Amino acid sequence: MKAASLFSLTALLCSASAMAGTVITQSATPVTTSGFENARRPISNPTLFDLALPTTNLHPIFMYQRLPDSVSSTAGPLAMGGDVQVYALQFEIALSERLSLVATKDGYVDMNPDNTALWENESGFANIGGGLKYAFIYDPSSSTAVSGTVTFEFPTGNHDVFQGEGDGAANVIVSGLKLWDDLQVAGAAGVHLPFDGQMATTSFISAHASYEVSRWFIPLVEVNWHHLLEAGNGRPNFSAQAGGAVPVVAAFEGYDLLNFGASNATRNRDLVTAAVGFRSRLTDDLQLGFAYELPLTDEENSVMEDRFTLDLVWTF
């Protein structure tokens, strides 16, 4: 990983609150977390795979994703290579023990492809997304929670990094959480529903298992399955990349990171990834997390060769 990336990450984590531009206050209604004290947030698929438990927290994230050497298209393999770096800050405000306000997508995207004859080195802001989470099962005595989340993604991002197109979208998600002493399992499933036909309609299923060996080392494994339900209209767009031809010729979708609106994504409807990593409970309120993720489907049918994710979760 580049030294510049590590320096940027350090700056991000040290100034997370300033970057957010948002002041988080204590919730008006006291939230009881007895029975969930050791719950830990999943790391991979962070804009969609959330903890089912409503809490008040700040969640700075850094992702370093290597791009495949070539990607599938209707014209055959296209050379790419390079990397994408994402700097983001999520937050959540618990309004009660069952209801919270969530901000799930924002941040800054820095794309550095190797094939600059076709792709451009560009950077810009991602779309903004947020909504509400409600735990319709909340049982501290059995350490069990099941919640529903509805978020809205607004097309506020920069076209140069495959953001800011269409009329926005809604995400409808169901999440579950169960703890048995040191063992935790969690899962989520949902759909991404654009408000027009330009972007792709997709679904996902994610699963998480972790075991607290010690407060400093909590190994985890996660699996994510993204599936194309309906392709976008393939209209030429995102002119800074491949002359705007990506939605026309791409034979796959970008899923959790990008949405091309590629009409030929029906050729490769699925992206399955696996992640391994750990969390460390630095204090009762602060957790550090790291995960290494790679695709189990052909990497040429995605924009992921592999991904490194580093985050902090500050709950208060």
The string of pLDDT tens digits covering residues 100-136 is 999 999 999 999 999 998 999 999 999 999 999 999 9
Tokens of 131: 């909504």
Selection from 173, 171, 202, 169 nearest residue 188 by Cα: 173
pLDDT for 306: 97
Mean pLDDT of 67-87: 95
Q: Which domain holds residue 76?
A: 3-315
State the amino acid at position 43 in one-letter form: I
Q: Residue 70, exposed/middle/buried by CB under 10 A (0-12, 13-18, 19+)?
A: middle
- Mean pLDDT (whole number) for 157-184: 96
| Joined tokens for residue 253 | 């979708």
Q: How many other CB atoms are found less than 10 A from the CB of residue 225?
A: 18
For the question of whether the overall pTM of this predicted structure is more than 0.85, the answer is yes
**In this structure, what CATH number is given to the domain that contains residue 144?**
2.40.160.40
pLDDT of residue 33: 53
Minimum mean pLDDT among 18-22, 60-64, 95-99, 260-264: which range? 18-22
**pLDDT higher than 90, residue 47:** yes
Average pLDDT, the chain: 90
| E strands present in 27-168 | 57-66, 70-71, 78-79, 82-94, 99-105, 108-113, 122-125, 128-139, 144-154
How many domains does the chain contain in total? 1
Quote helix, strand, coil % in the chain, to nearest 5: 10, 50, 40
Q: How far is 294 from 305, CA to CA, in rounded Å?
A: 6
* pLDDT at position 13: 36
Q: Which of 16, 3, 33, 37 is nearest to 215 (CA)?
A: 37
Secondary structure element (H or E) that encloses residue 10, with its range: helix 3-14
- CA-to-CA distance for 236 and 247, rounded, in angstroms? 6
Average pLDDT estimate for 168-175: 98
**Average pLDDT in the 51-62 region?**
97
- DSSP code of residue 47: T
Per the CB < 8 A criterion, the answer to whether 165 and 123 are in contact is no
Q: Is 219 helix (H, G, I), strand (E, B) or coil?
A: strand
Q: Token digits for 153?
A: 């993604």
